[in-house]
Amino acid sequence: MITYEFLQNYWWFIISLLGGLLVFLLFVQGGQSMLHSLGRTEDEKKLLVNALGRKWEYTFTTLVTFGGAFFASFPLFYSTSFGGAYWVWMIILFCFVLQAVSYEFQSKPGNIFGKGTYRAFLFINGVLGTFLLGAAVATFFTGSEFTVNKGNIVGLGDAGPVISQWQNPLHGIEALGDARNWFLGLAVLFLARTLASLFFVNRLNHDILVDRSRKFTLYNGVPFVVFFLAFLIWTLVADGYAVNPETKVVFLEPAKYLHNFLDMPLVLIVFLLGVVGVLYGIFATVFRPEYNKGIWFAGVGTVLTVTMLFLVAGYNHTAYYPSSIDLQSSLTVQNSSSSEFTLGVMSIVSLLVPFVLAYIFYAWRALEKKSLGLDDLQADEHSY
């Protein structure tokens, strides 16, 4: 029986999955953050840029679709978070705007700012884009300073006709005052770099870069694990934002997210499988000299882990976008979603997703029957 509640949970799952796919695809950003450290000669940098340049549009499109899907399914989040944490989202957007032209323009004559500038843009996108997305997602657990009152549209209150209001003038930057947000931000940054290293090991036909990428897997994998564990452990023991299923009142519950894992054993198992996948991908790549399939284990592992983290944030009577200053303003899957009708329509559209994935898989395979080397770049007229 497809009820409103089912549709709401289904869409939270879709958003979670898109979030998981997005974080996996951030390997493009991770790679961009290492252009100058992993690549030492111009040829090496060029090869890295071109390997990433064949993938960046997937990440970008996934981000856009993530935004669109979030808007369509949970418009109150779109309204509250984007309109409130204004600066965080704006900086993220600026990073991605810079990225969008940097591949296409960097090697073209007449690009005015020079190759170095466009690569610097890629670096900025690589570091800030991943870190801030991670920090923004961390606020799903740590909370933000906003109030929501849908009735305000009648304009009778003090605030005028304003549905949601951010109560901190820093408009989102204040999230950097919380170490836990830093931990997840840094974890995502180093995860992206780790995934990029694994991607290079798999994709490149260039011995020096592949060897170096293997080392970079370790250099980035270790800080990733440290920051991720710091975030995870802290979050598991911290108070979480629980919702009373009868009264819908939001309250702080000790170790709420730990309870969520325990209450939803399937989520816990998949989460752990994901973590094992990521760790296996890293370790096998670091310790087995010929092994190059780490990206697949770590990639699938990332999607699973992140998706489950999102589920823990939103399922089991939990407020997924909590307000730390006014608990009752917190957003839940129930109070922030679209109508049953809209979710139903969107669910039918979501049946197209497997078809989309199928042609993406086809295209990926068609272009990548063999790994990418410098000779391919010479043969390819569209190389960057």
Partner 1 sequence: MELLSVSAVNWSRAQFALTAGYHWLFVPLTIGLALIMSVMETIYVRTGDPKWKSTAKFWQKIFGINFAIGIATGIILEFQFGTNWSNYSWFVGDIFGAPLAIEGIVAFFLEATFISIMFFGWNRVSKNMHLASTWLVTLGATLSAYWILVANAWMQYPVGMEFNPDTVRNEMNDFWAVISSPIAVNKFLHAVFSCWGFAAAFVLGVSSWYLLKKRHQDFALKSIKVGMIVGLSGFVLLAVTGDGSGHEVAQKQPMKLAAMEGLYHGKEGAGLIAVGMLNPAKQAYNDRVDPYLFKMEIPKLLSLLGYRDANAFVPGIENIIDGGYTLPDGTVALSFRERKERGEKAIQALADYKTATAEGRLDDAAQHKRILDENYAHFGYGYLESEADLVPDVPLTFYTFHLMVIIGCYFILFFLIVWYFVHKKKMHTERWLQYVALWSIPLAYIAGQCGWAVAEMGRQPWTIQDVLPVQTAVSAVATGNIVATFILFAIIFTGMLVAEVTIMVKQIKKGPDFPPEVSGSNRLIEIDED
Residues 42, 377: contact at Cβ < 8 Å? no
- Could you count the other beta carbons within 10 Å of the beta carbon of residue 138? 23
Pick between residue 24 and residue 228 the one whose CB is nearest to partner 1: 24
DSSP, residue by residue, 116-185 = HHHHHHHHHIIIIIHHHHHHHHHHHHH-B-EEE-GGGGG--STT-S-SEEE-STTTTGGGGGSHHHHHHH
Q: Least distance from C-beta 20 to partner 1, angstroms?
A: 16
Half-sphere exposure (Cβ direction) of 247: Cα atoms closer than 13 Å? 6
Smallest gap, in angstroms, from Cβ of residue 360 to partner 1?
5
Phi, psi dihedrals of residue 243, rounded to the nearest 5°? -120, 130
Nearer to partner 1, 6 or 362 (CB): 362
Question: Is 82 or 141 the residue whose CB approaches partner 1 more closely?
Answer: 82
Side-chain-side CA neighbours of 344 within 13 Å: the count stands at: 7
Q: Would you say 23 and 302 are in contact if contact means Cβ atoms under 8 Å apart?
A: yes
Closest to partner 1 by CB, 15 or 225: 15
In whole angstroms, how close is the CB of 373 to partner 1 at the nearest point?
Answer: 14
- The Cα 245–Cα 338 span in angstroms is 19
Q: How far is the CB of 44 from partner 1 (least distance, A)?
A: 20
Cα–Cα distance for residue pair 257/303, rounded to 1 Å: 19
> Minimum distance between the CB of residue 190 and partner 1, rounded to whole angstroms?
25
Query: Between residues 66 and 219, which has the closer beta carbon with respect to partner 1?
Result: 66
Nearest distance in Å: CB 222, partner 1: 33
Comparing CB distances to partner 1, the nearer of 136 and 232 is: 136
Task: Give the rounded distance of the alpha carbon of 163 from its chain centre.
Answer: 27
Report the residue number, 246 or 290, with the smaller CB distance to partner 1: 246
Smallest separation (angstroms) from partner 1 to the CB of 342: 5
Cα 257 to Cα 180: distance, rounded to the nearest angstrom: 14
